[in-house]
Amino acid sequence: MIPRTIFSPEHETFRDSVRRFMEVEVVPHDERWQEQGYVDREVWKKAGANGFLCCSMPEEYGGAGADRLYSMVLMEEQARANNSSLGWGLHSEIVAPYLLRYGSDALKKKYLPKMAAGEMISAIAMSEPGAGSDLQAVKTTAAKKGDKYVVNGSKTFITNGWHCDLVIVVAKTEPAKGAKGTSLVVVDTSMKGFSKGRRLKKLGLKGQDTAELFFDNVEVPAENLLGQENNGFIYLMQELPWERMQIAIAAVAKAEAAVEWTKAYVTERKVFGKPVASFQNTRFKLAEMATEVQVARVFVDRCMELLLEEKLDTATASMAKYWVTDLECKVIDECLQLHGGYGFMWEFPIARAYADARVQRIYGGTSEIMKEVISRSMGLGGKDG
């Protein structure tokens, strides 16, 4: 296997700490979390105390001022532990960066330290019943009235939605302008008129609380606007390369883990008096998957190098998101097949990974949207391009 060169000894020391945390504080509870549909808030506070939340945020706001490779380590170790219940990545590496980059000093001081400590849980509300990948179709509005915005609408499929204490809402401040009339506003969930709907039951990610959110004349202080009014769509586009890389990072790590679980299983499991690993088909299948995952690993690591240099463009990040999530689903499917009937049993990690992997090709922009982004970067825009 090609040695990885992007991590320093300090990153690997951090990895050891994260792995121990997963083994002690996460894995023993994950089955219960999946059954109840959400994780205990206590694990957020423990993660905050260990410096695992918002670690790339500046120290003045409660973070560690660490580079994003530390965040990458966290994502990889969560995938290795086969945990899909913790919504830390979205909290620390999507919501927090929006606040840091576009929020006022007052907003940053009010929310980021509590987010880093695990005292407040955050979400971002983009998807609606009629608007998924097409954010231009958002119907939620934020009408300016004096020194406030009045937010009305509903959101669905919101990760951390049931637990959240604050949520960044994608809303139309000037609906007639379409995407150019989109803004981002921070809603504190204690505000009057805000309510949480049911926790949604999903095919996978069963322990991750995903909910509907409702806004009924929620009055939000004007200073809770992120950046400039009507620039929300631009801000969303600027953050997409990192968001899509996070999905690719988790995808390749989960595919690597699936190959390792399967290698161990076929070595121990016997069929017709022989280990499953002794059959040529098994060996060749695992050889093929190990090779493909290695190719994906090299590509993802290179994309991370570009991201750290601020040279990763949206099209390349879209390539990583689309191709690696497709590979993840393919590899996990093949690995499940090699487990035979046991692969269909929920108690086996490969079964849970199979259910969790499917959404990777949907959220963060569907694979079809990724291909559209890539083709347009090649000068192949269609009628609307």
Residues 267 and 295: beta-carbon distance below 8 Å:
no
For 162, the 3-state DSSP assignment is coil
Determine, yes or no, domain membership for 205.
Answer: yes
Identify the bridge partners of residue 220 per DSSP, sorted by sequence position.
Answer: 149
Determine, yes or no, domain membership for 274.
Answer: yes
Determine, yes or no, domain membership for 291.
Answer: yes
Q: Are strands 166-172 and 122-125 parallel, antiparallel or unpaired?
A: parallel
Same domain flag for 167 and 201: yes
Q: How many domains does the chain divide into?
A: 3
Same domain flag for 150 and 102: no
Same domain flag for 157 and 81: no
How many residues are there in the chain? 385
- The domain that holds 163 is classified in CATH as 2.40.110.10
Same domain flag for 209 and 315: no
d(CA 112, CA 264): 42
Same domain flag for 259 and 356: yes
Sequence letter at residue 16 = D
Same domain flag for 243 and 264: yes
Residues 147 and 140: beta-carbon distance below 8 Å:
no
Q: Which of 114, 231, 241 shows the shortest CA–CA distance to 170? A: 231
- The domain that holds 310 is classified in CATH as 1.20.140.10
Q: b vs e for 150-181, b when ≥16 Cβ sit within 10 Å of the residue's Cβ?
A: bbbbbbbbbbbbbbbbbbbbbbbbbeeeebeb
Determine, yes or no, domain membership for 195.
Answer: yes
User: Which of 70, 102, 117 delimits the end of a domain?
Assistant: 117
pTM of the model: 0.94
Tokens in use for 142?
């934020």
Phi, psi of 173 (to 5 degrees): -90, -25
Does the active-site annotation cover 243?
A: yes
d(CA 36, CA 279): 41
User: Which of 117, 151, 167 delimits the end of a domain?
Assistant: 117
Among residues 76, 212, 229, 243, which one is catalytic?
243
pLDDT values of the chain reduced to their tens digit, one per residue, 385 residues: 788 999 999 999 999 999 999 999 999 999 999 999 999 999 999 999 999 999 999 999 999 999 999 999 999 999 999 999 999 999 999 999 999 999 999 999 999 999 999 999 999 999 998 876 677 789 999 999 999 999 999 999 999 999 999 999 999 999 999 889 999 999 999 999 999 999 999 999 999 999 999 999 999 999 999 999 999 999 999 988 999 999 999 999 999 999 999 999 999 999 999 999 999 999 999 999 999 999 999 999 999 999 999 999 999 999 999 999 999 999 999 999 999 999 999 999 999 999 999 999 999 999 999 999 999 999 997 654 3
Determine, yes or no, domain membership for 384.
Answer: no
The secondary structure of 23-73 as a DSSP string is IIIIHHHHHHHHHHTS--HHHHHHHHHTT-SSTTS-GGGTS----HHHHHH
Same domain flag for 175 and 201: yes
Same domain flag for 269 and 301: yes
Same domain flag for 113 and 126: no
Query: What residue numbers bound the domain in which 198 lies?
Result: 122-230
Residues 6+ apart with CB under 8 A from 322: 361, 367, 370, 371, 374
